[in-house]
Chain A
């Protein structure tokens, strides 16, 4: 694996995240300066379109296209939102960005918000991220003093107000329309689409919601051109990605690497292989809502492309060895979704509840015929009929466990 330039983690451990001077010393806010003094919003967005950067939250929608739709909307009032909800179990990449390099994120937010023509940006923070809130508050204050945001940014005619909004720590609020509801003060549950947030979003105005990791890529793209970015990683969804390795690997943690790596490469080369004395069983890609991958699929490259059999999702890779108790794991998944369903639509509200009920009866691997039948039905309806993707996610891992690990065939 060739060594590539780091984009997201280049400053981690080298600078004091609480000191803006450190960040400026390593060239920070250079992209903002370039954007303000040399670029027009359209050219900046054109660069991002060229970079083929896609959403790192999991859906993989092209960021440039999203920004373009909002930028081209004639409305005077637009919003830009940085999604820092991140409550997928085993995923903490956005938190690490804030912990280690908050100004990189801020710079990206400012550039992207100005590019789409928003005068107000929100940082939507997970309700449990108390420390991160403090870090961001400090960083925002420092950046405001330097006139990186506020009225007349760096002597230009750009205005931008940034506000931190702490959610209540609900998984569903990571879904963009539920997030909008949450900021508006409504119940955190997804909205009917269309209309999409890019047309009718926060307070009915065009809104651009992007994941924090996505945004953190933007300063680099502005400085180094989109063309250069497009050359990194896989051709279908280029760029760098933060992978979160966990479970039975020798070196767990957050690592930056290009997209398009195979799962085997990630586990063996970056994670240092499976923990000594353990035997690989399967890996889960993308948090509790992710697919399971067994030995024979390990050579699949992970990308955000729709053709990719295993979506990269949030980038978390949980390695499970053969000593793990699959029923405990399944119980924890179902418990999570039973708790985190918003309760809006029937299949998800009732389905996740019943799924958890069945699984708690099924600890020892014995399952009654009645439960087996009901379980299959519930997984099917979650997969096919729910209101928002969360319902489908709730069935993904479990469905894979049934299909690939044959857990029902005991």
Chain B
């Protein structure tokens, strides 16, 4: 199938939309609601194109490519439509960028810049009012704003929301939906309850604006980093590297990243691989005895990995009868943070009180199940914010990779922990006739656990991970734009 875009011929596949073709061919079309493979909602009305010179504008995300179709992606009307719709959205954001956690990482901001939305026709209507004067000015405009700071992971602030529905479509446990209607519409939880989900963080990576952002105060981290009396220890999960390259523009490898962290004020940078190795070893020890008693009933058998905190939360919420079956081994970062505060502090003769463990994490849910040994959990997005605050995001720091920790880690553990890696490493470690499975995503986890409960399947070890492709696409990673 051939279609013409802006006078040039391109080939299109069956079921392709015009937007699919344009994205594949690198033709720029602005979008806010469409994202990757998510359901196409066609609500932002920015991806408008004109077809066959009909004079009518249609959304490219919802228009199927048809053989011989002639598409125009830029003309006066299209530009005008995009600019007006952007301005309508921008009205609630104008002047709020510097207080926003997604400043400079915001898709709306980028588009507003691109389409030169600088006129202020409207008064923002969404916002928290502070002064009486403001109150009077905004009386008619102010509508419902929902701010949720009840949980340690995801901060919701509906004044930044552009109602694109990405979070509604990505959420694996359907936490979000629409409340109210027309101009009062708020994306929120049922009955406006504080968010209580599995905190996988997928909604934050997909939110185009600052409506969904990381909870927590990076200023506290910065204070600790700047304090010279305190030994700041960064534990870096190697899986963050790819994502960190998007936040810290000059980072090309682990050495650069470690250099950047040192420049930010981390005295020591350790690789989480050490913790991963200890974790796998401990898990293997846990599984072995079960195997000896092969017919251990489900009730007594510990077989679900504790690695993914989001999965643990999922089991807590939806399979409470299986909580006891989660293997009682601390997660790698906990094992390592404790080692830093005990063995390492002892060896280096430092008072543990003066050590701050900062985990650079690909995972958002870890914040929810944080152990006391870890002082700060910093997602990759937050790392980017800290770097931008300290103006180091554009500098390339050379240097050595991670510092030496207590003992050497086997090279095989240094690989990134994508989905399936944990079960593979465990299988290698325990060797023998074990039934080892892996489940990725809420649906697979649900199926695997249900099968186990119905005795249709038997697992000696089950790796469960909520994020697609595991931590590589974790909820703490930088947004994929």
Contacts and interface: CB of A to CB of B under 8 A. Distances in A.
Contact of A353 (B56, B80, B87, B125): B125
Contacts of A346: 43-46, 85, 88-89, 162-163
B83 to A, nearest CB: 8
Contacts, number: 98
A384 B77 contact: yes
Contacts of A384: 56-57, 77, 81
Interface string B175-188: 00110111111000
B106 interface: no
A353 B121 CA distance: 13
Contacts of B163: 343, 346, 349
A349 B121 CA distance: 16
Contacts of B422: none
Interface string B232-276: 000000000000000000000000000000000000000000000
A341 to B, nearest CB: 4
Interface stretch (A2-10, A237-245, A374-382): A374-382
Contact of A385 (B48, B89, B125): B48
Contacts of B327: none
A310 B25 CA distance: 43
A352 B56 CA distance: 21
The winner among B48, B81, B162 for most chain A CB atoms within 10 A is B81
Interface string A370-406: 1101100110110011110000000000000000000
Nearest to A382: B84
A192 B56 CA distance: 17
A380 B181 CA distance: 23
B66 interface: no
Contacts of B121: 354, 370-371, 373-374, 377
Given A357-B122, A381-B84, A385-B81, A350 B45 contact: no
A246 interface: no
B40 interface: yes
B72 to A, nearest CB: 14
Contacts of B284: none
B122 A340 contact: no
B88 A354 contact: yes
Interface in B3-19: none
Interface in B53-107: 56-57, 62, 77, 80-81, 84-85, 87-89, 91
A385 B45 contact: yes
B215 interface: no
Interface residues on B, range: 35 or more
Interface string A337-374: 01111111111011111100100100000000011011
Contact of A345 (B40, B45, B77): B45
B57 A338 contact: no
A170 interface: yes
Contacts of A130: none
A187 interface: yes
B133 interface: no
Given A354-B88, A357-B141, A385-B48, A192 B183 contact: no
Of all A-B residue pairs in the complex, the 3 with the closest CB atoms, nearest first, are: A353-B183, A343-B185, A350-B88
21 contacts: A170-B181, A192-B41, A338-B182, A341-B183, A342-B181, A343-B178, A343-B185, A345-B42, A346-B43, A347-B85, A349-B185, A350-B85, A351-B88, A357-B141, A371-B121, A374-B122, A380-B81, A381-B81, A381-B85, A381-B88, A387-B45
Interface of A: 170, 187, 192, 338-347, 349-354, 357, 360, 370-371, 373-374, 377-378, 380-381, 384-387
